[in-house]
Amino acid sequence: MNMASHKDIEFVIFDVDGLMIDSERVYTDVTNEILAQYGAEMTWEMKAGLMGKPQRPAAEHLLSFFPKIPLTIDDYLAQRTAGQDARWPYVQLLPGVARLVTHLAAHGIPIAIATGSVRRNFERKTAHLQHVFVHFGGYAVCGDDGAGRGKPFPDVFLAAARALGRAVGPNEEGDVVGDAEREERARGLVFEDAIPGVQAGKRAGMNVVWVPDENLLSVQSSQVTEQPDQVLRSLEGFVPEEWGLPPYDDMVAQQSRTE
């Protein structure tokens, strides 16, 4: 799917977990270590409903599948936090992320982060990856920053756009948004890996590139009610000029040599 050829993007917003860093593997491993104590396991069908949500609603959703397990939401979150904190210093960037972020920053394209993660977790996940995350210049909206409702609501993406100085208006969607605000929102591009994030981006009136895990694509592609504008297997497949963004410098050089 590719609906990008007519777009003219002026600002870009990134999700983090599963899109920029390989943290979804950590979430899965830690959660299943906790559930294994009770002879249970999280399937991909269950995980699909958790991705992109703030941590407490996600925990409530997960534990709803295991009503007989004597584990409170607070106990689960405490165990999960401890297991994740031990792994965050080793989480790696996903393919294509460093190249895209550094390229956009080098060309002066405004970029921001919009994540459902609480700020303490975001900082722990990215502290060792500052050679990439430094390019965001502090423009990061986290799940506990008071931006509004979590994904699939549009609030976090609109807050990130406002942080970049874009006149996108309040956390509203549909007919209540003015024409000028709607046009401004349409100048934004969102990168997401989770279904609630795709929904949030589209409800924010922005363009969305969906980069799902193959497991997610197989279990939930039919449930995408708000369709993304493009689907990629990896950010390595992103072509900036299809969106009115500057082409990668090495591609420009290669084209010059062939002319």
Is 74 catalytic? The answer is: no
Q: Determine the Cα–Cα distance for residues 154 and 12; give it in Å rounded to an integer.
A: 15
Q: Could you please report the per-residue DSSP string of 180-245?
A: HHHHHHTTEEEEESSHHHHHHHHHTT-EEEE---HHHHHHHGGG-SS--SEE-SSGGG--GGGGTS
Q: Determine the Cα–Cα distance for residues 54 and 82; give it in Å rounded to an integer.
A: 18
Torsion region of 157: left, alpha or beta (phi above 0 gives left; psi -120 to 50 gives alpha) = alpha
> Among all chains, which residue has been given the structure tokens 């559930």?
35
Selected catalytic residue, list 8, 15, 74, 179: 15
Q: Determine the Cα–Cα distance for residues 252 and 242; give it in Å rounded to an integer.
A: 14
Selected catalytic residue, list 8, 17, 175, 250: 17
Q: Could you please report the per-residue DSSP string of 143-191?
A: TTSS-SSPTTSSHHHHHHHHHTT----SS--GGGS-HHHHHHHTTEEEE
Is 17 catalytic? The answer is: yes
The Cα angle at residue 80 between residues 50 and 131, in degrees rounded to 5 = 85
Q: For residue 141, list its beta bridge partners.
A: 114
Torsion of CA 61, 63, 68, 74, to 10 degrees: -130
Residues annotated catalytic, as ranges: 15, 17
